[in-house]
Amino acid sequence: MNLLSKIVLAVVFVLLSVPMEAKSYVNKIDTLGIIFKYDKKKRTAAVDSAYNIGLDVKIPQYVVGDKGKKYEVESLGYMSFSRMQIEHLTLSLPGSISSIGFGSFYTSNIKSITINGFLSDIHDRAFHDSRSLERLDIQPVESVGNLAFMGCESLKEITFLSRVKKIGDLAFYGCESIELLDMPDCLSELGKCAFAYCSNLKSVRFSRSLSILKGRTFYNCTSLTEIDLPDNIKRVCKNAFEGCKKLTKVRASKNTVIEEKAFPSNVEIEYY
């Protein structure tokens, strides 16, 4: 493959990684520093971007478009809060928004975010590369998407996972400041590389509903020293704990299948 072909493929990959806008989103409303885009066909609206706003932001449930028509606000759009140059943000959401959308805070510089309102999901890349984010105060969510917090190297606490059922691939990859992971017993799916490169992670409590640890789930978590696996963990896949240099002791059920190279070679496994 020549150089030109490689460049073309790279550009295509980047374009495909960004969500396409709905074709019917052709109109925008500027309301007190928040721009909404609205869909005439579906009679819905989404936050497009925010600028020149204070520390406390309230998203309305409806916005008024052309000819006085009302549009229900249903989502936070891609990179809608990425350009804000503030340290702290309190965001109040209407009942019509139940999730943080794809890339809504992608590359944001905000240090502390409080979101008031019921949320069930944090979508893919929602906070991806928000390297300044130290604290996120939200109600517990049920699912966290792929790459949702990847690169959030300042994020310290993840208490919003207390009722999470699914954590996607690379969800917390590179979250270097997390020290404690206490999985709720309702968590049944943990993605590949979910906590890879969490270099300060020292303690992990596993969910009683989790049955498999996928490849490189805890790759390069260099502060882990010991692991206690409950008997509901039926399989630990290859390279699950690769690069965990300080890990020396693992306690596991004799019925757990531990694949080759699941742990570093120096690890002592105690079966019960």
What is the number of helices (H) and of strands (E) in the chain? 1, 22
Look over the chain and give the mean of its residue pLDDT values, rounded to a whole number: 89
**Tens digit of pLDDT for each residue in 184-215?**
999 999 999 999 999 999 999 999 999 999 99
Q: What is the mean pLDDT of residues 116-137?
A: 96
Residue 29 C-alpha from the chain's centroid: 29
CA nearest neighbour of 216 among 249, 173, 252: 173
Which two tokens mark 119? Answer: 């949320």
Distance CA 156, CA 44 (A): 36
Taking the complete model, does pTM exceed 0.85, yes or no? yes
pLDDT at residue 216, rounded to an integer: 97
The band of 52, judged by pLDDT with boundaries at 50, 70 and 90, is low
The band of 83, judged by pLDDT with boundaries at 50, 70 and 90, is confident
**Beta strands at 70-76 and 62-64: parallel, antiparallel or unpaired:** antiparallel
For a pLDDT cut of 70, what percent of the chain falls above it? 90
pLDDT at residue 266, rounded to an integer: 92
In this structure, is the dihedral angle defined by the CA atoms of residues 58, 64, 66 and 72, taken in order, positive or negative? positive
Distance CA 94, CA 116 (A): 9
pLDDT at residue 85, rounded to an integer: 75
Q: At residue 17, does pLDDT exceed 50?
A: no
pLDDT at residue 15, rounded to an integer: 39
The band of 54, judged by pLDDT with boundaries at 50, 70 and 90, is confident
Q: What end-to-end distance do the CA atoms of the chain give, in Å?
A: 53
